[in-house]
Chains A and B, each alone.
Chain A
Amino acid sequence: MFQEATAEDRRKYYTMEWKIERIPDFIRESIHLREFGFDHTGQGPNDRYRFFRDEKFLTKFMKYRAPYAAYSSVALYDRPWKREGWRSSELVFDVDAKDIPVRQCKCDNVCEKCLDQAKEIVAMIIDTLEDDLGLREIHVIYSGRGYHIRVLDPIILKSDSEVRSQILKYVIGGDIPRFSYTDFEGRVRSLDHFMVPLGYPRVFTERSRYIILHLNGDEKIEDITRQTMNKILEYRDLIGADRWGEFRDIIGPRVYERLIKGIAKLNLQLVDARVTVDLKRILRLPSSLHSKVSMICTHVEDLESFDPLRDAVPDFVKEKS
């Protein structure tokens, strides 16, 4: 498992196993409006600005070239071969298992454990996208080493990078919540994030809880010493029990302030932010082979029951094992 695919493996996959029907409808319906990119050598997607009039042309190309990796744009264009005439872009979040800031497995590449963690993060992000932002038409793609969340809700498709960057910070907890008000006597008061049980403060609290409960102690958090880290690990059960106030009092309000600042920065690493803000990004084509790890980039129908080690393994790998 997770071995690099040979040219022969790729040929076998694309001629015998790959089918155009495995590409999700939302891409198949707009093939002629998307830019395609390919990596033929394993050096990165150097063959870009590709355009296919319809499914037949794409099928022919895939079967004939058996690329090392295949990509299609998140954007739709009037002239995709020039990347001109931008119409819209999906909103995308890229959760890569190997880049999770609090990995408990400590493996070199990816493994079952960190893929599970990536899935947990994906589920949290989707909940926020639906419950807070009210977004629909959310698709999940297993990318081979993590997951892509692709949002096709019409209200978001025309949004610019700034708005996407703000959505990103909201769903991953990248900003420290600052909610203050002036009381009747004119004094400015503020509430801690864990005292506000809805909206962004709740999202931030959940993400912070996830990070703190998954710390293994080796992570570097800005302005947090080894000694403090040990204290955090010692008392983090309080956070599991939702006793944030006690936890803050034990580690001290000043240290807590620094911890929260550090966590907001760690949260920003839960996804690859560049992918979200880039309106012209190309993403792995669902159904294509991730040759580096010999896994199929797969459209996930049901996240809860999806098991990449069962549902995204190509036949040639199964045969070998």
Chain B
Amino acid sequence: MISTFFINPFSQEAKQIVKAKGDLNKIIEEDERLINIIEYTSGQRLDDDSKIPGSLWELSIKRIEWYLEKKGHRRYQPGYYRFLFNSQIAKFDVITFHILAQAIGAKFNPNSRESRIFIESEGEIVKERLLRVEHQVRDDIISKILNELLDSEKPHWIQLEKLLENRRIKLTELILKDGKAILDKSAPKRIQQIINSIRENIIPALIMQKTQEYLYKVNEMAAKIEPHPILVELANEIQKRISREFFIPKKTKPGTIKASKLDFDAFPPCIKNTIKGVKAGNRNDAIVLLLTSFISYARLYPAVFKERKPHKVSDFDPTLNITLNEILPLIYEAADNCEPPLFQDDPQEKLNITAKLGFGLHETPRLENEGESKWYTPMSCEKIKIHLPILCKPDNLCEKIQNPLTYYNRKRWQKRKEEGDRDIPRSNSRR
């Protein structure tokens, strides 16, 4: 039977292993036992030595690389990463997880792209490992992990509040009774399979949440105590590997949409209404939450919902020229059109706009602050209907889409088609 710490790196057992064997001075040393386990992993490809990690340092990088390549699809060759799902590497793996968390937490802001990729990669690894747990022991393992993470298989739903806040799960995806989320065997037999599926889905979400909280703690500590140099070095290596994934070639392939300025005619009705000015009540959310993210993505990365890559503003606008000279003036102008003008009433909203672009709470975006917050993607039509119904005046095209940015891309595509441009891709290609 596999150990729970192969899936839950926060278990007591996991902590003990890290305490006993997590000597940072030894992480670059080659470990024969690790290499041996990998070589004897069923289905593991062994034709390229560079793909086989020999030390904890290399295993750390492989963990991130696996996720980047899996998400990147084209290059992904699962045969090179089979060892990640061999439970025999559990002890090495759990140390690696903690090394990575310490390195990333110490060097990067918990909202940075590097942190998010690490959190997502952990969620994905846990999901895959759970899928591979043998049927006969699956229930037992899951029960043990749930008890480790929640102290109960019937937690009060408020214990899952952070998961709801971060949208890692939906309340409507749980089965609740008297305030408790049913995750045990007490449900009627007919729906037990559904409960099993909820149990399996909630574990990666819980571990991602715990990882995020862990990064916050490490980040706080790093402000007081200087991290070990090897952790800084590892963080730099991870950053390089991630940046390579997000490198945007200057020459685009034929057929992709060329970089262009914003096309105001293609804006959806809710955005046009926002730009005209919004009355107090809806004003702040319309400018800060809706317009800021819409304009920045429409100008810099309209393909975000197709590619789903956590890019930063500077990946597309390395000098922030476009952001400062095109995007922000447009948002500020719309803010001035509001009634009463947004910044007259709430000058601190300028800070919130900067934060929504991923540059933390500062008056203007600066490269050195990037990653202090998340670059918010445009809110969905469903959210607009709840938060800003006054702006939602749907036209025919709106009925077919679920996000204002998709509307923008679709409308531009339609316009080009009508103009007889044959060299246009159907999808939202990156500019």
A contact set with B: CB distance below 8 Å: 131-135, 155-156, 159-160, 162-163, 165-170, 174-175, 177-184, 189, 191, 195-200, 204, 222, 268, 273-274, 277
Residues in A neighbouring B135, C-beta threshold 8 A: 184
Q: Are B194 and A179 in contact (CB under 8 A)?
A: yes
B179 interfacial by beta-carbon distance below 8 Å: yes
Q: Are B194 and A175 in contact (CB under 8 A)?
A: no
Q: Are A133 and B386 in contact (CB under 8 A)?
A: no
C-alpha gap A191/B195 in the complex (Å): 12
> What total of A-B pairs shows CB separation below 8 Å?
96
* Given A200-B172, A268-B385, CB of A162 within 8 Å of CB of B165: yes
B224 interfacial by beta-carbon distance below 8 Å: no
Interface size for chain B: under 10, 10 to 19, 20 to 34, or 35 or more residues? 20 to 34
Interface hub of B172, B188, B193 (most chain A Cβ within 10 A): B172
C-alpha gap A174/B156 in the complex (Å): 22
C-alpha gap A133/B157 in the complex (Å): 8
Taking the closest CB of chain B, its distance from the CB of A199, in whole angstroms, is 3
Top 8 closest pairs, chain A to chain B, by CB: A134-B179, A199-B175, A181-B197, A166-B171, A175-B172, A181-B193, A273-B386, A132-B176
Residues in A neighbouring B167, C-beta threshold 8 A: 162
Q: Are B161 and A131 in contact (CB under 8 A)?
A: no
* Given A200-B176, A268-B385, CB of A180 within 8 Å of CB of B165: no
Residues in A neighbouring B385, C-beta threshold 8 A: 268, 273
Residues in B neighbouring A178, C-beta threshold 8 A: 173
B177 interfacial by beta-carbon distance below 8 Å: yes
A177 is contacted by which of B156, B172, B187, B387 (Cβ under 8 Å)? B172
Taking the closest CB of chain A, its distance from the CB of B166, in whole angstroms, is 8
- Interface hits, B226-272 → A, CB 8 Å: none
- Which residue of the partner chain A has the closest CB to B167? A162
- Which residue of the partner chain A has the closest CB to B389? A274
B contact set with A: CB distance below 8 Å: 135, 156-158, 161, 164-165, 167, 170-180, 182, 187-188, 190-191, 193-194, 196-197, 383, 385-387, 389, 399
Q: Are B179 and A222 in contact (CB under 8 A)?
A: no
Query: Can you list 13 A-B pairs with a CB-CB distance of less than 8 A?
Result: A132-B178, A156-B158, A165-B383, A170-B172, A178-B173, A181-B194, A181-B196, A184-B135, A196-B191, A199-B176, A200-B175, A268-B386, A277-B386
* Given A199-B182, A274-B386, CB of A134 within 8 Å of CB of B197: no
Taking the closest CB of chain B, its distance from the CB of A87, in whole angstroms, is 17
C-alpha gap A182/B127 in the complex (Å): 14
Taking the closest CB of chain A, its distance from the CB of B339, in whole angstroms, is 13
C-alpha gap A200/B177 in the complex (Å): 10
A166 is contacted by which of B172, B175, B182, B399 (Cβ under 8 Å)? B172
* Given A133-B157, A155-B158, A181-B196, CB of A199 within 8 Å of CB of B177: yes
Q: Are A133 and B176 in contact (CB under 8 A)?
A: yes
- 15 A-B pairs besides A163-B165, A181-B197 with CB distance below 8 A are A134-B178, A134-B180, A155-B156, A159-B161, A160-B165, A163-B164, A166-B171, A166-B172, A196-B191, A200-B172, A204-B172, A273-B387, A273-B389, A274-B387, A277-B386
Q: Are B171 and A170 in contact (CB under 8 A)?
A: yes
Residues in A neighbouring B170, C-beta threshold 8 A: 166, 169, 175
Residues in A neighbouring B193, C-beta threshold 8 A: 181, 183, 189
Taking the closest CB of chain B, its distance from the CB of A85, in whole angstroms, is 14
C-alpha gap A189/B192 in the complex (Å): 13
B177 is contacted by which of A132, A159, A167, A196 (Cβ under 8 Å)? A132
- Which residue of the partner chain B has the closest CB to A174? B172
Residues in B neighbouring A133, C-beta threshold 8 A: 157, 176, 179
C-alpha gap A132/B188 in the complex (Å): 16
Residues in B neighbouring A222, C-beta threshold 8 A: 399
- Which residue of the partner chain B has the closest CB to A176? B172
Q: Are A134 and B386 in contact (CB under 8 A)?
A: no
Q: Are A182 and B179 in contact (CB under 8 A)?
A: no
Taking the closest CB of chain A, its distance from the CB of B361, in whole angstroms, is 16
